[in-house]
Structure 1
């Protein structure tokens, strides 16, 4: 029986979608084809076949997106080029499936080409018409987090076809082996946009002079802003693991990849829910706080609030993450993708060979 080819679409926004695809790809029996308009990171990605897509942005014609879709501009040549590449792959690699992380329109493109789809499911309120259509059309959904962080079963219309993989992280470290450096804070700034400004960071550091602050990510010095001596701007760090592992407190967004890193590195974590569509990060951070795994801040706290907040965060029990990191989420996702792909095509391939 011919193997089912696996394609994987990763959205270009931020770095998390591509990173997740690369982690899952390590555990698939055969290299998947990774479609994205985002660049691959510098480290080895030999376990995937990369198909670079044209950007889907530019000066579009002035036609509104129709109800039922999230993003469907007209007049952009890049969109016909990227969809053409995917359709050509469907034809050449038949039988195939497409994992979609994330795009309603890409999921529907594949389904309209008769290709079974497996959608990466994000947290948040996804009951809008486009998400309903994409989720309904998929053969399965993969949630890259534990079931405890998902919707309540009674509120979940797609629970029956959702596989909760557990956290998917580039780290698989057991419990931290080194004690945290006392009175240290690491702030992790991602590439997907942030509410945090240099002025915010300076104000927090000034309000907590006994603490040493390190900022990892795209926050640059500004000659117009005077930074206090206890604030270090480290810029983009390729592998922040040691900074995060050694910090007494980590402040970061409540995005899937950041939460997964906090879990595997056993961090005492202040979850800053960045503004994202469908309240994705708000609901994740609220659940983390309810489970005792993090403190939730819906906005960057005012400077006077930081001393008490850091003391509260210091009391978090980092061993609480242990219950959620017993298995590799990436390996679970890969095994699920392979099983779902084979099952989706089993009947059709057997009929064709008979």
Structure 2
């Protein structure tokens, strides 16, 4: 089947997910995939797909000549759409781009990640689509309409992290693809990781940090006299809220080696030992004693297979997207909230001096997630089975009836 993938332009995660799924296809079938997005070419570089396979859509911003604004009010705004300016020439053109490409390239199935408006466009034009479900409270009319209009739903996370408030009919209609790791790189050895920290300390003129690491760097495993390493990982979508916790973190763990990856506010740099940006956070995930981070889907996908203790600091997002993910991780025993972490510090459950480094304990037992490739392989196998099915069937009706419905154990009402 020829597949179309709509990737929303908010952040690069939607395009990245399309890229990761495309990589699971045989090379000759990768060329059958078309991605629709209004994300600029310099915002994300596809590694699997060529630019000829990317349809760069017109933007959907409001224009001065619009007849009605995108959110015009109760009696002017269809409840099945989140955003729908009237008379907007860019949105008219992007809709024509989508439909013309579907016709020209004979696309048989759309994967929509994510847009209630594109979902309704496809349903109104009788184009079958799968809708990607993100975490959060998505019980508004527009989301429910998009879910209902889909021939199936895709969740790019494990079923274990499904929100408890999700209706049964939604979960029953969902294929859970699990997390696909954002990187295939092997983590550095612990010794090489410490050398990386030394290099970063030199680059940021932190001689005392280099001295501390050098004085405790022996062998290729963590030593009893080595400092607690706490890594704070941040993106560009709201790092100020996490930065605001750095003074309390430093006060609670004065002897710890605190690393800040990503943007940082100037007024809190004094509370961390190294502040930098890196292309690959995998070594820091693998070798830190604690991770503090928000709950973006791609970020959690990277850390989920490791047993490194995690403190979740969700950013405010529409539909409580990160808060719901944080709640699921805490309920599963995979993470602590900031409040739980601070309580453990106050109770002395987390050792804070270099001479007392022992295996850490937490109030909620952490599940052990393999640092080997086993968890990655299992997650990839789930998505691989799904992508293989798209190749195995020559038509969308046959695939829907013979593969998708048996997977979901559903029969549409007639």
- Do both share a fold (TM > 0.5)? yes
Write the distance in 1 (CA, Å) between the matches of 2:187 and 2:293: 20
> Which residue matches 1:214?
259
- Equivalent residue in structure 2 for 1:56, among 55, 60, 64: 60
**Which of 361, 383, 393 in structure 2 is aligned with 1:315?**
361
The superposition leaves residues 94-125 of structure 1 with CA deviations (integer Å, 9 ceiling, x where unpaired) of: 24211111111111112222211111111222
Provide structure 2 residue ranges, at least 5 long, that are not aligned to the other structure: 191-220, 352-358, 401-414
Q: Does 1:163 align with 2:175?
A: yes
Give the corresponding residue for 2:34: 33
Which deviations, in whole Å up to 9, do the C-alpha atoms of 1:302-328 show, x marking residues without a partner?
A: 997694499299425666224992535
* CA deviation after TM superposition for structure 1 residue 89, in Å: 0.9
Which has more radius of gyration? 2
State the match for 1:66 in structure 2. Answer: 78
CA shift digits 1:255-314 (9 cap, x unpaired): 2211111113443211112212222222221221122111124xxx69976944992994
Decide which of 3, 7, 11 is 2:8's aligned counterpart.
11
Task: Sort the Cα spacing of 1:68 and 1:95 in 2 relative to 1 into closer, same or farther, 3 A.
Answer: closer
Q: Distance in 1 between matches of 2:252 and 2:166?
A: 44
Q: Say which is worse superposed, 30-39 or 309-318, in terms of deviation.
A: 309-318
Distance 1:47 1:93 in 2: 16
Q: Equivalent of 2:333, from 267, 273, 292? A: 292
* 1:270 aligned to which of 302, 306, 311: 311
- Does the 8 A contact of 2:58 with 2:90 survive in 1? yes
Cα distance in 1 for residues equivalent to 2:384 and 2:97: 24
List aligned pairs for 1:132-281, cutoff 5 A. 132-152=144-164, 155-171=167-183, 178=190, 182-194=227-239, 196=241, 198-219=243-264, 221-222=265-266, 225=267, 227-228=269-270, 230-235=272-277, 237-281=278-322
1:157-209 deviation line (CA, Å, top 9, x unaligned): 22222111111222357899645674112111124344526444345334432
- Cα distance in 1 for residues equivalent to 2:90 and 2:166: 41
Q: Does 1:345 align with 2:390?
A: no
Cα deviation code 1:35-55 (max 9, x no counterpart): 222245666523352222222
Question: 1: CA distance between counterparts of 2:138 and 2:256?
Answer: 40
Contact 2:7–2:35 under 8 Å retained in 1: yes
Tell me the secondary structure at the aligned position of residue 131 of structure 2.
strand
Q: In structure 2, what is the equivalent of residue 335 of structure 1? A: 385
Corresponding position of 1:352: none
Displacement of 1:12 in angstroms is: 1.5
Return closer, same or farther for 1:84/1:257 CA change in 2, 3 Å cut-off.
Answer: same
- Structure 1 gaps, min length 5: 349-354
Name the count of aligned residue pairs: 338
Say which SS state the counterpart of residue 227 (structure 1) adopts: helix
Q: 1:118 matched to which residue of 2?
A: 130
Greater share of strand residues, 1 or 2? 1
Q: Name the residue aligned to 2:200.
A: none
Greater Cα offset, 40-49 or 102-111: 40-49
The one of the two structures with greater contact order (alpha-carbon pairs below 8 A, sep at least 6) is 1
Per the TM alignment, residue 151 of structure 1 is displaced from its structure 2 partner at its CA by: 3.9
Offset from partner CA, 1:48-78 (integer Å, 9 cap, x none): 5222222222445443433221111234332
**Whole-Å separation in 2 of the counterparts to 1:85 and 1:154:** 34
Answer with 38-47 or 269-278: which moved more: 38-47
Mapped to 1, the partners of 2:316 and 2:13 lie a distance apart of 16
Contact 2:311 2:341 in 1 (8 A): no
Indicate the SS of the match to 1:99. Answer: strand
Conserved? CA contact 2:309–2:366, under 8 Å: yes
